[in-house]
């Protein structure tokens, strides 16, 4: 991991999972009605969608920057740690919100949401825990601080 060349799964997969979970959240909120109105009309659901979209956009940009800097031959350790932490945690939140919007249906095996939830949680364990990555990031930042 110190080479800054983490497995591509660790940064790209959470973004893809979150993107699809957000799409499913939006689609379902348009068709599911409660008390005569679609879920999409509810402010709480709109906030979940907005938060998910903002977080997803920010993480996607982090992945692009990390790839761009890698292609330029730059040392991407610091950015790689940040990107991995942010993407894995963002995907967990987005999938969790999507499950919330889907209600009980979100936990059924007929939808991929429950599987994605387990997969994203697994990434946060097997691809380097956020705590260890934060520790390594802080060490790198402190070591290279110019001040």
> Tens digit of pLDDT per residue, the chain (147 long)?
334 444 444 445 999 999 999 999 999 999 999 999 999 999 999 999 999 999 999 999 999 999 999 999 999 999 999 999 999 999 999 999 999 999 999 999 999 999 999 999 988 888 778 899 999 999 999 998 998
pTM: 0.88
All structural domains of the chain: 9-144 (1.20.140.10)
Q: Exactly one of 74, 110, 114, 127 is catalytic; name it.
A: 127
127 is catalytic: yes
Please name the residue that has the structure tokens 């800097």. 69
Query: How deeply is 78 buried, as exposed, middle or buried, from its count of CB atoms within 10 A (0-12, 13-18, 19+)?
Result: middle
């Amino acid at each position: 991991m110190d080479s800054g060349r983490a497995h591509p799964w660790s940064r790209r997969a959470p973004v893809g999972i979150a993107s699809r979970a957000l799409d499913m959240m939006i689609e379902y909120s348009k068709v599911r009605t409660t008390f005569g109105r679609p879920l999409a009309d509810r402010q709480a659901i709109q906030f979940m969608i907005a938060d998910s979209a903002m977080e997803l956009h920010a993480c996607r940009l982090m992945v692009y920057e990390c790839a761009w800097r890698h292609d330029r031959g730059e040392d991407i350790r610091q950015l790689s740690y940040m990107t991995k932490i942010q993407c894995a945690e963002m995907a967990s939140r987005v999938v969790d919100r999507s499950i919330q919007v889907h209600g009980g249906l979100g936990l059924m095996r007929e939808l991929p949401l429950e599987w994605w939830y387990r997969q994203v949680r697994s990434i946060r364990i097997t691809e380097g825990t956020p705590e260890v990555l934060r520790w390594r990031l802080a060490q790198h930042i402190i070591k290279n601080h110019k001040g």
